[in-house]
């Protein structure tokens, strides 16, 4: 078995004395792992970094085997990220999120969104909005998508202001009034191309974080990404 494809490195861990196991998102193939023999050498050090774009060739005797990777560097993005702490944390968070996906299941929308974020330009609001949208899409692709485009009680599609923390469904301002303290605020930028404020970014991460905790972190008995809270604090800090 053999294939070649474009990949985004999302994780590297040691294996044996000199090798590493590389984890990557691969276009049209999803999250894939492969062994890189001699991957701990200085020759491979700059290439095998999370955040780098690479050309991967995977080989194995059988399809269900771990397989071996041959790796060619395409875009040494990791070197650029080290110089920007916020974007470095963003890369770490994106890689942690992508590792939640099932292995060998294509998720090109998330892979493309991650690359766009890593290569994007803009201030903290732009980055914060992009990361919150990524978490929103992540929930959807994991099978836990939120219904934020119509009211769960009335079916209305306008004036949606809150989300039920139990069902993940939106409600209008009027329908929300009797339960306002129990509901999660719905930032409107998640529904379309609207410029968010700092409060919107905070509310968006609160929303996605609640459902990631409910459906993923707690369910799988894993801790949230260590950089997430720190990054959110940096992105929502008043200037």
The tens-digit pLDDT sequence of the chain (239 residues) is 999 999 999 999 999 999 999 999 999 999 999 999 999 999 999 999 999 999 999 999 998 899 999 999 999 999 899 999 999 999 999 999 999 999 999 999 999 999 999 999 889 999 999 999 999 999 999 999 999 999 999 999 999 999 999 999 999 999 999 999 999 999 999 998 788 999 999 999 999 999 999 999 999 999 999 999 999 999 998 86
How high is the pLDDT of residue 239?
65
Residues of the chain with CATH 2.40.50.140: 2-77
59 close to 85: Cβ distance less than 8 angstroms: no
How high is the pLDDT of residue 121?
86
Query: Could you tell me whether strands 53-59 and 68-75 are parallel, antiparallel, or unpaired per DSSP bridges?
Result: antiparallel
- Cα dist from 187 to 59, 72, 141, 201, whole Å: 45, 41, 20, 8
How high is the pLDDT of residue 142?
98
Question: Is the pTM above the cut of 0.85?
Answer: yes
Q: What fold is seen in the domain 2-77? A: OB fold (Dihydrolipoamide Acetyltransferase, E2P) (2.40.50)
Classify each residue of 24-43 as buried b or exposed e, where b means 16 or more C-beta atoms within 10 Å of its C-beta.
bbbeebbbbbbbbeebbeee
């Amino acid at each position: 078995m053999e294939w070649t494809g474009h990949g985004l490195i999302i994780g590297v861990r040691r294996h044996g004395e000199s090798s590493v196991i590389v984890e990557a998102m691969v276009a049209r193939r999803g999250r894939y792992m492969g062994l890189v023999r001699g991957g701990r050498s200085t020759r491979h050090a700059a290439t095998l970094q999370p955040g780098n774009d690479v050309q991967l060739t995977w080989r194995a005797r059988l399809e269900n085997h771990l397989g071996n990777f041959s790796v060619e560097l395409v875009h040494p993005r990791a070197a650029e990220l080290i110089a920007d702490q916020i974007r470095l944390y963003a890369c770490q968070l994106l890689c942690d999120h992508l590792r939640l996906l099932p292995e060998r299941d294509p998720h090109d929308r998330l892979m493309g969104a991650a690359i766009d974020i890593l290569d994007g330009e803009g201030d903290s609001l732009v980055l914060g909005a992009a990361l919150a949208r990524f978490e929103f899409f992540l929930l959807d692709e994991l099978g836990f998508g939120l219904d934020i485009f119509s009211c769960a009680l009335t079916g209305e599609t306008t004036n949606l202001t809150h989300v039920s923390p139990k069902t993940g469904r939106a409600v209008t301002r009027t329908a929300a009034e009797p339960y306002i303290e129990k509901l999660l605020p719905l930032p409107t930028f998640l529904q379309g191309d609207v410029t968010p404020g700092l409060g919107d970014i905070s509310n968006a991460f609160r929303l996605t974080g609640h459902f990631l905790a409910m459906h993923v972190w707690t369910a799988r008995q894993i801790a949230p990404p260590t950089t997430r809270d720190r990054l959110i604090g940096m992105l929502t800090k008043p200037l």
